[in-house]
Structure 1
Amino acid sequence: MILTLKKSTLIKLGFLLLIICLYLFVPQVNTTVKKLVVLFSMLDISTMKEYIKSFGAWAPVVSLVLMMFQSIAAPLPAFIITFANAWLFGWFFGAILSWSGAMLGAILCYYISKLYGRPAAEKFVGKKALDISDKFFNKYGPYAILIARLLPFISFDAVSYAAGLTSISLWSFLWSTGIGQLPATIVYSVLGQNIDKASKLGLWVICGVAALIAFALAVKKYIDEKHKNKQNF
């Protein structure tokens, strides 16, 4: 048991050391990471689209990697990629790509917390974000992930990291995340496909987000009432 524990710890430390060394001593990795941070911080959908497009046939793969990078390097905005994907690939394939990338990113965050614990999660998303997620999990239990995914103002990545610190199984985490993020992905993708055509896109974005919030609050209210009924019995 002790030997297994030591071996597991060594593997975790070794992997972490490898990542740090790659960033510090491989100029291409260091430059790419810094470039991506700047790219996301620009909040420019057109620039993101052109960056993904520049990889040609590898563009879909790059999009997936970008979504995973965004998840780890929270709080970089994911919606930039979702809009860019839809603009570049069309809403349907763009939505599939964005949804898949978000799922991969969520799994990565989940396992980082599982492997390295709360200190590592706090390094990525901050103590305050995790504390808020903890309260959400304590209140809604197995429904917490589904509700959190539906609400666009709750940090997607913080929820993923927080879930990894709980006893929630990977399967429960996956189906809740997959269903919960689907409405927002579709809405953003439809808007993204028409980003260069709609003169009043800003208004459509506001309407789309408002509709998502209204839907999420309705689901939340339903679950709240369900909990109250259980407690009364």
Structure 2
Amino acid sequence: MSDLIKVIEAFLTQIVAYLNSFGYTGVAIGMAIESACIPLPSEIIMPMAGFMAYQGSITLFGAAMAGTVGNVIGSWAAYYAGRALGEEFLFKYFGWLISRKEFNMAQRWFDKYGDAAIFISRLLPVIRTFISLPAGIAKMDVKKFTLYTFLGSFPWCYGLAYIGYVLGENWQSIRKYGHDIDIVIIALIGLLGAFWLWHKFKDYRESRPR
């Protein structure tokens, strides 16, 4: 367990160092990566950006805006990939990256709610990452896609950043309960990360043609 904790600590330390080095640009790049369907969770990036806002290196509003701009840029990449390549090509060559189960979930949302699904899904985990693909495949109007992505992404980014900001304000009071709290939190993050990786691998194996 101690080795796992050290690995997770090193990973989180590298993310913090990266964000501190590049500021708003780093937040935008991190969120663009996530929105392009590459596994870098916004639930890690934005709270850390909020913690940076607490420290004073960036502002809370600026962190949320940078994350939103990154969301739009990454979503454009996924949108145009879906539009240009189509579903079968994406799963044939990028099935290791895109879960068929998660894509189908996003597709159902898009089929059910149409253009409004872009706005709604930006407020939800998992679906928000993959909704750009069916929008691109359906050749949704890119101006509407961009507007709904921006409007839906901002409250998500602001909310996660605010959580990091509040945690920053209360960090010292949390710390007084001792180092054991750190170990529990890090262990939980590690277990969640391991479960997420297992889930992605399982979905990929199930989606492969037999």
TM-score by length of 2: 0.65
Q: For residues 165-205 of structure 1, what are the alpha-carbon distances to aligned partners after superposition, in whole Å with 9 as ceiling and x for unaligned?
A: 1131111111111111222222112222232222589xxxx
Once the two structures are superposed, the pairs formed by residues 214-225 of structure 1 within 5 Å of their partners are none
Bigger Cα Rg: 1
**Higher RCO (C-alpha 8 Å, min separation 6):** 2
TM-superposed deviation, 1:121: 3.6
Asked whether 1:132 is paired with 2:105, we answer: yes
Q: Is the 8 A contact 1:64 1:97 kept in 2?
A: yes
Find 2:127's aligned residue among 147, 152, 155.
155
Aligned to 1:146, the other structure's residue is in SS state helix
Instruction: State the AA in 2 paired with 1:81.
Output: I
1:49 and 1:91 map into 2 onto residues whose CA distance is 16
Residue number in structure 2 paired with 1:49: 16
Give the paired residue count.
157
Partner of 2:85: 116
The question of 1:186 aligning with 2:164 is answered no
The 2-side partners of 1:59 and 1:192 are apart by 15
| Alignment partner, residue 222 of structure 1 | none
Alignment partner of 1:83 out of 41, 44, 47 = 47
CA distance in 2, matches of 1:120, 1:63: 30
C-alpha separation between the residues in 2 aligned to 1:71 and 1:153?
11
Deviation of the 1:143 alpha carbon: 1.6
Q: How far apart are 1:59 and its partner, in Å?
A: 3.3
The sequence identity of aligned pairs, in percent, is: 22
TM-score (norm 1): 0.59
SS at 2:101 equivalent:
helix
Let me know the Cα RMSD of the aligned residues: 2.6
Distance in 2, matches of 1:135 and 1:63, equals 30
What amino acid maps onto 2:125 in structure 1?
Answer: F
Q: Distance in 2 between matches of 1:134 and 1:69?
A: 21
Cα distance, 1:145–1:82 mapped onto 2, change above 3 Å: same
1:72 corresponds to which residue? 36
Structure 1 residues 193, 162: CA separation in 2 closer, same or farther (over 3 Å shift)? same
Is 2:105–2:127's contact at 8 Å kept on the other side of the alignment?
no
Distance in 1, matches of 2:155 and 2:33, equals 22
**Equivalents in 2 of 1:181, 1:67: separation in Å?**
10
Counterpart contact for 2:35–2:74, Cα < 8 Å? yes
Structure 1 segments unaligned to the other structure (5+ residues): 1-37, 202-233
State the alpha-carbon separation in 2 of the partners of residues 60 and 182 from structure 1.
15
